[in-house]
């Protein structure tokens, strides 16, 4: 956990943020927008709202991992903190079925400073925080749909591990301060996951370092979807290894990545192709450490796009 998680919980006025809403664009293969084009959309949007008064960006109501990734990558260029806020249902999924835990894993790997949840009911928010807390390496936030929580709900959210409360109305903010200022208040302790945390658009994956089974390399081509499905369905494997030898390979896999039900490892020795592959992949991937790419360049690519060298 970060040092921030050792501090007392805080309440932040929603007006403190510059809000960035979802683009409404579906990327390839679900729509016609490329991920590069999506990044350009967010670059333009951020340029229009970023001012000297902007202290932090709030990616508000995100429902797609492609939006989260594109927005964070462009926000980082402006050197402003990025908060991510998801609206989830009772199963902790967004409107486009993005799981909260997968979104958290990717967001924190890309450098978001806080990850938040809002929902129609306080019970759903609380249960979602409980669900994702073990995977959080950054503070977790909540926002009430109507600006307020009851004292019982505030206490339950604090016990669940909530670090930041966004958009509380004046009365609720005052009651929140009374709770955390009490001599009896103690920060709860939470157990954290120790292992590899990976994700794609539909799932979060938690792997043990010593027991991970990786597939033989899958060669890329425009019709590789059947190969991906066959390997994922054969059983006994934890990671899908994708051989990336050229930029075209990276593009071919990006077109077929939605068929993978396992987390992904990219293997290859072409620096440009590797960087393109990890940029286009909508998730958090592994990079094969046996690559002949310069280690410093490999590390930079992994850090920039939230991948793990393994």
pLDDT per residue over 78-100, tens digit each?
999 999 999 999 999 999 999 99
What's residue 186's pLDDT? 87
Q: Are 107 and 76 in contact (CB under 8 A)?
A: no
For residue 108, is it within any domain?
yes
**Contacts (Cβ under 8 Å, ≥6 apart) of 170:** none
pLDDT for 190 equals 86
Q: How far apart are CA 164 and CA 144, in angstroms?
A: 12
Pair (211, 171) in one structural domain = no
Say if 74 falls within a structural domain: yes
Is 51 in the same domain as 156? yes
- In this structure, are 109 and 237 located in the same domain? no
Does residue 213 share a domain with residue 169? no
- Is 172 in the same domain as 23? yes
Among 188, 114, 136, 120, CA closest to 157: 188
E strands present in the chain: 10-12, 18-20, 57-62, 82-87, 114-118, 140-142, 164-166, 196-199, 204-207, 218-219, 240-243, 264-267, 286-287, 308-309
39 lies in the same domain as 84: yes
Instruction: Report yes or no on 193 lying in a domain.
Output: no
Q: In what order do the strands lie in the sheet with 164-166?
A: 10-12, 164-166, 140-142, 114-118, 82-87, 57-62, 18-20
Domain that holds residue 305: 207-309
User: Are 167 and 221 in a shared domain?
Assistant: no
Residues of the chain scoring pLDDT < 50: 1-6
Q: Is the dihedral of CA 113, 100, 57, 263 positive or negative?
A: positive
Q: Fill in the DSSP letter of residue 135.
A: G
| pLDDT score at 1 | 39
CATH number at residue 85: 3.20.20.330
- Let me know if residue 186 belongs to a domain: no
Q: Which residues lie below 8 Å from residue 118, measured CB to CB, with a gap of 6+?
A: 85, 86, 87, 88, 125, 142, 143, 144, 145
190-249: per-residue pLDDT in tens? 888 878 999 999 999 999 877 899 999 999 999 999 999 999 999 899 999 999 999 999
Per the domain annotation, does 10 fall within a domain?
Answer: yes
């Amino acid at each position: 956990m970060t040092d921030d998680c050792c501090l007392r919980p805080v309440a932040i006025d929603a007006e403190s943020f510059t809000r960035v809403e979802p683009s409404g664009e579906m990327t390839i293969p679900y729509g016609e927008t490329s991920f590069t084009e999506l990044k350009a959309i967010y670059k333009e949007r951020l340029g229009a709202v970023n001012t000297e008064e902007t202290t932090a960006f709030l990616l508000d109501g995100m429902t797609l991992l492609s939006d989260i990734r594109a927005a964070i990558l462009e926000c980082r260029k402006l050197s402003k903190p990025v908060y991510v806020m998801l609206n989830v249902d009772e199963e902790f999924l967004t409107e486009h079925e993005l799981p909260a835990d997968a979104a958290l894993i990717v967001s924190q790997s890309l450098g978001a400073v806080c990850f938040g949840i809002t929902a129609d009911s306080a019970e759903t928010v609380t249960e979602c925080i409980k669900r994702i807390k073990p995977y959080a390496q950054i503070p977790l936030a909540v926002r009430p749909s109507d600006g307020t929580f009851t004292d019982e709900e505030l206490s339950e959210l604090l016990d669940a591990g909530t670090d930041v409360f966004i958009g509380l109305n004046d009365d609720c903010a005052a009651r929140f301060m009374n709770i955390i200022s009490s001599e009896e208040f103690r920060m709860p302790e939470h157990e954290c996951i120790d292992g590899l945390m990976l994700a794609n658009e539909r799932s979060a994956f938690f792997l043990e370092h010593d027991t991970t089974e990786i597939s033989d390399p899958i060669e890329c081509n425009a019709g590789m979807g059947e190969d991906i499905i066959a390997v994922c369905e054969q059983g006994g494997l934890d990671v899908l290894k994708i051989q990336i030898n050229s930029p075209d390979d990276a593009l071919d896999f990006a077109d077929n990545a939605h068929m993978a039900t396992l987390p992904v490892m990219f293997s290859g020795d072409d620096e440009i192709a590797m960087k393109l592959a990890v940029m286009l992949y909508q998730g958090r991937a592994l990079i094969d450490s046996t690559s002949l790419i310069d280690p410093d360049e490999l590390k930079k690519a992994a850090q920039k796009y939230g991948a793990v060298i393994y």
